Structure 1
Amino acid sequence: MEIKKVGDLIIVNKSGIYGLGLSAEPYNGKVRYLRITDIDDAGNLLDQDKKSVTTLHENDYFLQQDDLVVARTGNSTGRTYVYDKSEGPMVYAGFLIKYVFDKNKINPRYLKYFTITSIYRNQTAKYSGSTRGNMSAQDFKNIKIVLPNRTTQDKMVVLFDFINKKMINNNKINAELESMAKTLYDYWFLQYEFPNEQGKPYKSSGGKLVWNEEFKREIPEKWEVNKIANCLIHINTGLNPRDHFVLNDGNIKYITVKNLTTTGELDFSACDTISNNTKELINKRSMISQGDILFASIAPLGRCFIIRETPNNLEINESVFSIRPNHKVSSEYLYQYFMSDYFVKKAEHSSTGSVFAGIRITTLNDMDIVTPPKVILDKFTKYLTNLYKLKHIKSKENQELSSVRDFLLPLLMNGQVTFI
């Protein structure tokens, strides 16, 4: 094992090159424009919101197999991605810096895994921040790396690539399950094609729709429109630190809006922690429990999470609502409503300011929601409960794989654990 600087391992004339400083355009299906927002904290490529770019000089910025790019600014500072040609042609944006490594000295994918360790992140912390921190090309060259011999590096890459691919596959399964749930919700409750008494699509089979003055649209006969407040047992929030407590003095996850996602998952990367005493203090206000919906109240809306097991290891801050439905709706139904484009647009229109920043509890309580008959609600809830059980299993598996990876990485790097 050695300690080396990044600058000792690169091909100098091909490294430290900043990307294109151009605005992204709609994806053209040919060449992807890689931005800092396309890379997650584990160094994986995100598939949402692909973009392209048009420039006469884009050929100078094409990535080659095993090129590494590092994010140099903002909260993403220090994130890395190692290019794989299987991802298709790619050019990189100006907030990324490219490095090419001497493969006789280092496996670039080993460096990818090194950059998710605390050893690395402690070195880059001084460059990051929401106030546009900045890490220069030279700063990254000065990063110190724990470097095992090349054989050990290669074995580590095989192991952690296997774990990473399993986690990516689980994420794809969960994305598909979430898409199926959304499609079913849209079909049943926005298009009104839920199964009628004969099991046929209601609206297209001649089901009666009646005008609802409160909702300002037609809804199925015998359905109701309620205020959201009338469908809840309670809606609470957590606490912000202020004078109440300090962060990162325990092992309880402290969930803020940045940890809630549009995929219905909790993103624990860069998640602060609190102590058990702090959790007890916050819980007197939040009262979070299994079955509650965690709701991000700050824009963008459409970021929620259903608590699937007793929340012994998490609590929330003031910007996260804890919502518990009553008998009129189920958690699954209300969750899908809050995640729908229909709700998000309606909530944004409720804002009185010129820029929508978020939603208050009073505004949310006063919004209307269509509530179906119990037989329809129960059937929908049963479908989604089974679907979300599988999603929860995959999410838990990823948490366990992530814990194993994070436990083994430093031990293998410094030689405390070795391969046979």
Structure 2
Amino acid sequence: MIKNKLKDISLSISSGLTPLRSNNEFWLNGEIPWLKTEQLGEKYIYHTNEHITKNALNKTSIKINPENTLSIAMYGEGKTRGNLSILKSPMTTNQACCNVVIDPSKAHYEYIYYYLKTQYEEIRNLSSGVRKNLNSNDIKNYPIRLPSSLDIQFSIANVLKSLDNKIELNNRINANLEAMAKTLYDYWFVQFDFPDANGKPYKTSGGKMVYNQTLKREIPEGWTTEPLTKSCDVVDCLHSKKPDFYNESEDAYLLQLDNITDSRQINLEQKYFVSKHDYSEWTSRIEVKHFDIVMTNAGRIAAFAQVPKGIRCGIGRNITAIRPNNIKPNYFYMSLSGNDIQKQILSNLDHGAFFKSFNVKGIKKLFLTRPIDNIESKFEELISPIIEKRNAALAENAKLASLCDWLLPMLMNGQVTVKG
């Protein structure tokens, strides 16, 4: 391995700027992409949330960064500082982004991207000042370890890129599957055009609708609403002190708020392990399993996910488990994201002195819509394969991410080699 400083293998290293916000000629109808650090973290950045005008480019010192520039967050909220991405189209950035154009005759930009990913904590620790910001000199002088040839760099980057590409493909497949599931649910239970006895769309074909006092809207004749507690068990977490982290067994861990994603999935990249004794105590009320719903009570209020096949674990603080019993589990899962339930959640929030929450008391006040004539079962038959395919892709992604996390530092420090 050859040691260099980042500036020695770069054509340029510079930060951007923010054109004067009050000057409309810099922003109004802008067409030039302008990136902020809040978007950094994904491997590739293709588009930006904001744009500036040609006047901003001509009348300030801001520069357009070329495709394949590495952009590193020098400051930002929470974990943002130290995040990096590859810019996949020419764009400008704000002053919090340090933009590195790698010299292709000396290094491969994707290899440097992966190398810097392994240095996330080390780069963050370079920050200084009250606000803990990085500066461009820190990044310019950051040490880089390079294999002896560009061919080896390229080969290493390709190995890691192939894993990332498969993960991205699965993400795109999942996005399509989730769109299919939502479309199917909306067609049956929002538009009420499920197949009637003659196989025709119910409401469009003149199926009778009646006003429901609980939901304050019409639903098909014969359908009912019932308390969630009639068909589900609602189990609160323990409210004792959070147990210490202790990796005694791979099977003894508690879900934390961060494990429940905004996309309604369970992410187990970071598990909170506890002792077997603590695990036994924290699962005394429930050990969640396939089809159970876990829902956050505070922080990100009422974020929820369905526990996929193969997972059994406990729930940590500020999480409630909901176990469907006398209701089809995937119909129940889809119902939770529907407008009826979401409106009920908002109306049942607990407004505390400092923040809002959605606790067990509020969950037990929710009402579910129950169809008749095996409609729920027929929907379950259609929706289950879609959700199973999504969960399989998520499980594969978790394995690929774990493999990448293991392989990345091994490749970067030379413990694992590939042929150039």
Displacement after TM superposition at 1:317 (Å): 2.1
Distance of 1:215 and 1:44 partners within structure 2:
44
Displacement after TM superposition at 1:248 (Å): 6.8
Q: Partner residue of 1:392?
A: 391
Distance of 2:46 and 2:246 partners within structure 1:
29
- Name the SS of the counterpart of 2:234 in structure 1: strand
- Name the SS of the counterpart of 1:265 in structure 2: coil
Displacement after TM superposition at 1:137 (Å): 2.4
Distance of 2:303 and 2:339 partners within structure 1:
11
Question: Which digits, 9 at most, give the CA deviation of each residue in 1:194-228, with x for residues without a partner?
Answer: 11111111111111111111221111111111122
Q: Partner residue of 2:348?
A: 350
Q: Return closer, same or farther for 1:22/1:284 CA change in 2, 3 Å cut-off.
A: farther
Q: Partner residue of 1:82?
A: 86
Distance of 1:182 and 1:356 partners within structure 2:
31
In the TM superposition, 1:58-73 aligns within 5 A as 58=57, 60-71=62-73, 72-73=75-76
Q: Partner residue of 1:183?
A: 183
Q: Partner residue of 2:121?
A: 122
Q: Return closer, same or farther for 1:343/1:279 CA change in 2, 3 Å cut-off.
A: same
Q: Partner residue of 1:332?
A: 330
Gaps (5+ residues) in structure 1? none
Question: Which digits, 9 at most, give the CA deviation of each residue in 1:136-177, with x for residues without a partner?
Answer: 323333443332232211111122222211110100000110
- Name the SS of the counterpart of 2:103 in structure 1: coil
Q: Partner residue of 1:410?
A: 409
Q: Is contact 2:259–2:268 with CA below 8 Å preserved after alignment?
A: yes
Q: Partner residue of 1:96?
A: 97
Distance of 1:344 and 1:372 partners within structure 2:
19
Q: Return closer, same or farther for 1:248/1:341 CA change in 2, 3 Å cut-off.
A: farther
Displacement after TM superposition at 1:133 (Å): 4.6
One-letter amino acid of the structure 2 residue matched with residue 215 of structure 1: L
Gaps (5+ residues) in structure 2? none
Displacement after TM superposition at 1:69 (Å): 0.7
Q: Partner residue of 1:263?
A: 263
Distance of 1:186 and 1:402 partners within structure 2:
33
Q: Partner residue of 1:305?
A: 305
1:158 aligns with 2:158: yes
Question: Which digits, 9 at most, give the CA deviation of each residue in 1:308-359, with x for residues without a partner?
Answer: 22324x54322232211121x2221222222235533442243364997331
Displacement after TM superposition at 1:109 (Å): 1.0
- Name the SS of the counterpart of 1:344 in structure 2: helix
TM-score, structure 1 normalization: 0.84
One-letter amino acid of the structure 1 residue matched with residue 368 of structure 2: I
Question: Which digits, 9 at most, give the CA deviation of each residue in 1:63-90, with x for residues without a partner?
Answer: 31211111232222211101123xxx53
In the TM superposition, 1:226-245 aligns within 5 A as 226-237=226-237, 242=242, 244-245=243-244
Distance of 1:173 and 1:27 partners within structure 2:
36
Q: Partner residue of 2:273?
A: 274
- Name the SS of the counterpart of 1:379 in structure 2: helix
Distance of 1:67 and 1:359 partners within structure 2:
43
- Name the SS of the counterpart of 1:226 in structure 2: strand
Distance of 1:127 and 1:317 partners within structure 2:
33
One-letter amino acid of the structure 2 residue matched with residue 96 of structure 1: C
Q: Return closer, same or farther for 1:154/1:333 CA change in 2, 3 Å cut-off.
A: same
Q: Return closer, same or farther for 1:399/1:141 CA change in 2, 3 Å cut-off.
A: same
One-letter amino acid of the structure 2 residue matched with residue 15 of structure 1: I
Q: Is contact 1:295–1:321 with CA below 8 Å preserved after alignment?
A: yes
Aligned-residue CA RMSD (Å): 3.3
Larger radius of gyration: 2
Displacement after TM superposition at 1:235 (Å): 2.8
1:113 aligns with 2:114: yes
Question: Which digits, 9 at most, give the CA deviation of each residue in 1:364-386, with x for residues without a partner?
Answer: 21122212226111111121211
Q: Partner residue of 1:35?
A: 36
Q: Is contact 1:236–1:322 with CA below 8 Å preserved after alignment?
A: yes
- Name the SS of the counterpart of 2:388 in structure 1: helix
Question: Which digits, 9 at most, give the CA deviation of each residue in 1:230-279, with x for residues without a partner?
Answer: 2312333367864x22367775665333332233323345x353145244
Q: Return closer, same or farther for 1:222/1:132 CA change in 2, 3 Å cut-off.
A: farther
1:210 aligns with 2:210: yes
TM-score, structure 2 normalization: 0.84
Identity %: 26
- Name the SS of the counterpart of 1:333 in structure 2: helix
Distance of 2:234 and 2:281 partners within structure 1:
18
1:383 aligns with 2:382: yes
Displacement after TM superposition at 1:31 (Å): 4.8
One-letter amino acid of the structure 2 residue matched with residue 333 of structure 1: Y
One-letter amino acid of the structure 1 residue matched with residue 245 of structure 2: V
Q: Is contact 1:250–1:273 with CA below 8 Å preserved after alignment?
A: no
Displacement after TM superposition at 1:8 (Å): 3.6
Distance of 2:98 and 2:143 partners within structure 1:
17
- Name the SS of the counterpart of 1:384 in structure 2: helix
Distance of 2:94 and 2:151 partners within structure 1:
33
